[in-house]
Amino acid sequence: MLSLINAMQRHVFLTLILFMFSFNVAYADIRNGRIGHWLLDEGSGSYAYNSSGGTNTGTLYNTPTWTTGQFVGALSFDGVNEYVGIPNDVTGIRTVSFWMKPAASEVYPLGLTQNREGVVSKWGYFSGGTCALTRYVNGTAATETLGSEKLSNRSFTTDLSLWSWANGASAVRDTVDYYSSPASAKVTTAAGQQNNFYQTGLPSLTAGALYKYSFWAKGSTSAVVAPIIQEWGTFAVIYLPEMALTTGWLQYTYYFFSDRTTSSAYLNFQGPATAISYWVDDLSLKEVTGDSASVTNDTWNHYVIVTDAAFSAESMSFGRVATNLGTYKYLTGSIDDVRFYNRALTATEVGELNLNKITADSFFLLF
Ligand SMILES: [Ca+2]
Ligand SMILES: [Ca+2]
């Protein structure tokens, strides 16, 4: 009898150990790989601190309000001019996670803002890999619906035209090809040049619409180039975050809102300070017309974006998104628990984040 009790005690003890161990193993990893984490639990003051060990302390502008969050505290934004500014770039991001509670009056279509769910403005392009982007809303993978192709020629079968800001630039159809046949666009610039190149059939844009813009590019040398969408004779529709060209083909993908309706949008690449040639191919511009994600206003929704290649977030904002140089859309609603990871979270991990199982760390400490 004694040995039976001992055995039972041992069984209970081992079960307890395994129970504790499983919590620790299953959820501790979600803390691993964070390269930015704003809990937004401060509750007062003008700063939002990064608890991942980074230095990117957020500064509150125009007094967003500390409020009750999905987890402890959060920040509420008025939709007029309130936001949090993050001063420095964060590089090597593979996963973004955050919670957002859009107000009932929120006009963002299905929770989408610039560069996808826009708690983070200017989170930039991602390149390399296949540029696959997996989005989760409230723990479930979501899919986007794209409109028809808005570029009339993705294979450069017609001659290019070029308009340049400075002397000496040229653009040609080149036999170097990444996508299809027979050509790509080769743009050669002098130092500091900014170039438009275009073909017949310039894409039209609609004010307020969200677009997915992607292309393949490579350079004669490594260089940084800034893509710009421009309306002829006016200011740019949008300045997109800079991209780092390499001597090998990489695909670049951007999401942006158009702040105007225009019948002809030009594809502009602002060159580096040095003379360079670069090639562009497989340009694609499509409107994001729908989203399978189910988002309810005035409740907390969880958003996660996972990419198959690292990307950078340039000096950015929480609570507003850029639609043009100096023009922003502001969030009416609340944001909580913004995280950047340097690794791709699995679907299981996204589900755990969604269920707040991260608190298992605290649970473990109770023992
Ligand atoms: Ca919080
Ligand atoms: Ca081609």
Identify whether residues 278 and 310 lie together within a single domain. Answer: no
Check which CATH number belongs to the domain holding 297 and give it. Answer: 2.60.120
What does each of the 367 residues of the chain score in pLDDT, given as a tens digit? 555 556 556 555 545 444 444 444 444 458 899 999 999 999 999 999 999 987 899 999 999 999 999 999 999 999 899 999 988 878 888 888 989 888 865 544 333 333 334 445 444 455 555 556 788 889 999 888 899 988 766 788 877 777 666 556 778 889 998 887 778 988 888 777 767 676 666 788 888 787 888 888 899 998 888 777 777 666 666 667 677 788 988 887 777 777 778 887 777 777 777 788 989 888 888 998 887 877 778 889 888 888 777 777 766 788 877 665 556 778 889 999 999 999 999 999 999 998 875 443 333 333 3
Among all bound ligands, the one having the nearest atom to the CA of 178 is 2
Identify whether residues 201 and 286 lie together within a single domain. Answer: yes
Identify whether residues 49 and 129 lie together within a single domain. Answer: yes
Give distance in angstroms: CA of 117 to centre of ligand 1.
Answer: 18
Among all bound ligands, the one having the nearest atom to the CA of 41 is 1
Distances (CA, A) of 275 to 122, 184, 193, 215, 249: 27, 19, 8, 22, 19
Identify whether residues 182 and 222 lie together within a single domain. Answer: yes
Give distance in angstroms: CA of 104 to centre of ligand 1.
Answer: 21
Bin 27: left if φ > 0, else alpha if -120 < ψ < 50, else beta. Answer: alpha
Task: Supply angle C-alpha 112, 117, 121, rounded to 5.
Answer: 115
Q: Does some domain include residue 51?
A: yes
Distances (CA, A) of 283 to 112, 176, 286, 354: 23, 15, 10, 35
Q: Which domain holds residue 74?
A: 30-143+292-365
Among all bound ligands, the one having the nearest atom to the CA of 173 is 2
Q: Does some domain include residue 260?
A: yes
Among all bound ligands, the one having the nearest atom to the CA of 51 is 1
Each residue's pLDDT tens digit, 252-295: 777 777 777 888 777 777 777 778 898 988 888 899 888 787 77
Each residue's pLDDT tens digit, 150-201: 876 678 887 777 766 655 677 888 999 888 777 898 888 877 776 767 666 6
Q: What is the DSSP letter of 205?
A: B
Among the candidates 248, 271, 290, a domain finishes at 290
Give distance in angstroms: CA of 336 to centre of ligand 1.
Answer: 5
Give distance in angstroms: CA of 262 to centre of ligand 2.
Answer: 27
Distances (CA, A) of 302 to 30, 135, 228, 349: 15, 11, 31, 13
Among all bound ligands, the one having the nearest atom to the CA of 216 is 2
Q: Does some domain include residue 5?
A: no
Among the candidates 239, 262, 290, a domain finishes at 290
Check which CATH number belongs to the domain holding 199 and give it. Answer: 2.60.120.260
Identify whether residues 262 and 316 lie together within a single domain. Answer: no
Q: Does some domain include residue 14?
A: no
pTM listed for this prediction: 0.70
Give distance in angstroms: CA of 41 to centre of ligand 1.
Answer: 5
User: Domains in the chain: how many in total?
Assistant: 2
Identify whether residues 168 and 119 lie together within a single domain. Answer: no
